[in-house]
Amino acid sequence: IGTFMLGGTIIIEKNAFIHVSTHAEGGTVVIKGDVQGRVGGQMVKGDIYVLGNIKYMLPGFKEIDRVKKEIAGETATFKHYIGDLGERHPKSKGKEIYANLFVRAS
């Protein structure tokens, strides 16, 4: 789902299996259910929102804070991760840009 994505939005109404936004360089993916794993592998830009859980989190993502966001018509608190830290990342105004992964906090 969203492999090599450069822009736009994909909304998954239920669960997803693996390989969400692999190699993505932009765009937004919203998953309203759970994901097995490999979310955002080799992703360098873009956003992923998981309203359920991720069973197997990739080690290349680092939690940086918790944020409140309105997604799919509801407001919730999300754990905010950046990554994939094992990849090269573009810079803007001297600052590295990372992909964002938001997972609903339980």
The tens digit of pLDDT for each residue in 18-57 reads 999 999 999 999 999 999 999 999 999 999 999 999 999 9
pLDDT of residue 106: 80
- As for how many domains the chain has, the answer is 1
Which residues is 62 bridged to in the sheet? 82
Q: For residue 51, tell me if it sits in a domain.
A: yes
Q: For residue 26, tell me if it sits in a domain.
A: yes
Q: For residue 1, tell me if it sits in a domain.
A: no
Q: For residue 4, tell me if it sits in a domain.
A: no
Average pLDDT, stretch 2-16?
97
A 10 A CB-CB count for 101 gives 29
Q: For residue 3, tell me if it sits in a domain.
A: no
- The residue ranking higher by pLDDT, 67 or 88, is 67
pLDDT tens-digit series, residues 84-105: 999 999 899 999 999 999 999 9
pTM of structure: 0.95
Q: For residue 46, tell me if it sits in a domain.
A: yes
Q: Which domain holds residue 84?
A: 9-104
